[in-house]
Amino acid sequence: LVWGIPMLADSASLYDPVDRPRVFGIPEMKNPDLRPYRINMHHIGGRGGAFPFPLNPRFADGVETYIYDADEDCLEQMKTNDGGADHVVGMAVAGTDGSARLHVNYDPYTSSLRAANPGCQDFFYEEETCDYVLEDVLKPAKIVEMPALSLSSLVRRKGFQLDYLSLDVQGAEYDLLAGASEETLNDTVAIMCEFSFFQFYEGQKLFEDLVALLRGKGFFVAQLFPHRHEWSSFRTGIGWRGTGFLAHGDALFLRRDRHIVERAGNPFLALAKLAFISLSRGNLAYALQCLTEAYRRPDAGVLALAADVPYIGFLDAMYSLYRQETHIFPAR
C-alpha cells in the first residue's frame, strides 16, 4: 500500500497532502513518457478488480488502465485480481465535490451513492437456485460518509487523461457525467455506461436521460449490451412465470469523428484511439471511418511511436492495407 501513484513521475505534484486516494500499482512499470499516447482507460465501480474491456494482451503496452471503488473493504480484492488494472484507486467519484454517502448493500455489487428506491423493492429475477429480490439485496449493511471528487476535479487535480470512461456506479452514472465539464470530456472518445429502464435507486436517471445528455456532448449510442436476466415487478409462484422485462444493461457511446476534429487537443491521436476502441468492439467500419478522417492530417510524431505503442503501429499497418486494396462492393 502506497500513497500516490508510484508509476507516475513526480507523483508528489499530482497529490496534495490532504487529498490522496489509496493507489496500488502493478509490479511492471510502463514508461511514463508514453502515457499521453496510450489509451488511458478509467473504470469507476470496479469492486471485482478486473477491467471490463476486451483487450488483446498484445496491445497491453498501449493502454493504461485505472479502476476505482469507494468501498475500502474491496481494495485488496481489486489489487490482487489477476485481471487487474495498472492502477487501483480507492475513492468516491460523484457528480460534485464534497461529501458522499456510500450505501454498502447486502449484495455489495449493488452498493451505490444513491439509496434504494422502495417503489421497486418487489422487482426480482429468477436464479437457478433462488429468487434475487431487490428488497433483500439492496438492504444497506452500512452507510459510510466519505469525501468525493467530481470527474472534472479528478482530471484537473490528479493530472489524469480520460480517453475511455467506463461507469458501473449503480444509478449514479448520469450524475457523474452531468457534473463533468465540457473541457473534461474534450479528449474522451468513448464511454461505456450502465443504464436502466427502471428507477431501482431513488432519483436515478434512466436510459433516455443518458442518451440525451451524451448526445449533447458529441456521443452517439454504438452498441447495447443487455444484462442476461429478465426482471419481473410482481412475484408469482412456480408454475405461474413467463418472460420478464429488460431492466438494465450497458451502453457503448462513441464520439462522432467530426466532433473530435473540432475539439480534441490532438485530433489525429484521439481518432486513432477511437478507431482502436471501435475495432476492439468489432466495429471495423467505424474504425476505418475514423482513420480516414485522421489521415487527412497525419501526425508524424505520433506515427514515429509505432514500435513503442502497439495499437498505433497496428492501425497504421491496417489502414495502409485498406488504402492499397481495390475495394469490391455488393450491388446496391
Percent pLDDT > 70 in the chain is: 91
Interval 211-227 mean pLDDT: 97
**Angle between helix 284-294 and 310-324 (nearest 10):** 90
Name which residue leads in pLDDT, 17 or 276. 276
Q: How far apart are CA 214 and CA 256, in angstroms?
A: 11
Confidence label for 231 from pLDDT (cuts 50, 70 and 90): very high
Confidence label for 322 from pLDDT (cuts 50, 70 and 90): very high
Predicted TM-score of the model (pTM): 0.90
Confidence label for 82 from pLDDT (cuts 50, 70 and 90): low
**Per-residue pLDDT for 2 more than 80?**
no
User: Tell me: the pLDDT tens digits for 4-17?
Assistant: 332 323 332 232 32
User: Tell me: the pLDDT tens digits for 148-158?
Assistant: 999 999 999 88
Confidence label for 77 from pLDDT (cuts 50, 70 and 90): confident
Interval 280-309 mean pLDDT: 97
CA 25 to chain centroid, in Å, comes to: 19
**Per-residue pLDDT for 115 more than 80?**
yes
Question: Ranked by mean pLDDT, which of 22-31, 84-93, 186-195 comes out on top?
Answer: 186-195
Interval 294-301 mean pLDDT: 97
Interval 61-88 mean pLDDT: 88
**Per-residue pLDDT for 180 more than 70?**
yes
Beta pairing, strands 248-255 & 190-196: antiparallel
Q: Specify the pLDDT at position 19.
A: 36
Confidence label for 81 from pLDDT (cuts 50, 70 and 90): confident
Q: Specify the pLDDT at position 79.
A: 85
**Per-residue pLDDT for 300 more than 50?**
yes
Q: Which three cell numbers stand for residue 8?
A: 507516475
Interval 162-190 mean pLDDT: 96
List residues bridging with 104 in a β-sheet: 142
Q: Specify the pLDDT at position 76.
A: 87
The mean pLDDT of the chain is: 90
**Per-residue pLDDT for 251 more than 70?**
yes
Q: Specify the pLDDT at position 83.
A: 66
Interval 106-131 mean pLDDT: 96
Q: Which of 73-87, 145-159, 242-256, 272-286 has the lowest mean pLDDT?
A: 73-87
Q: How far apart are CA 246 and CA 229, in angstroms?
A: 8
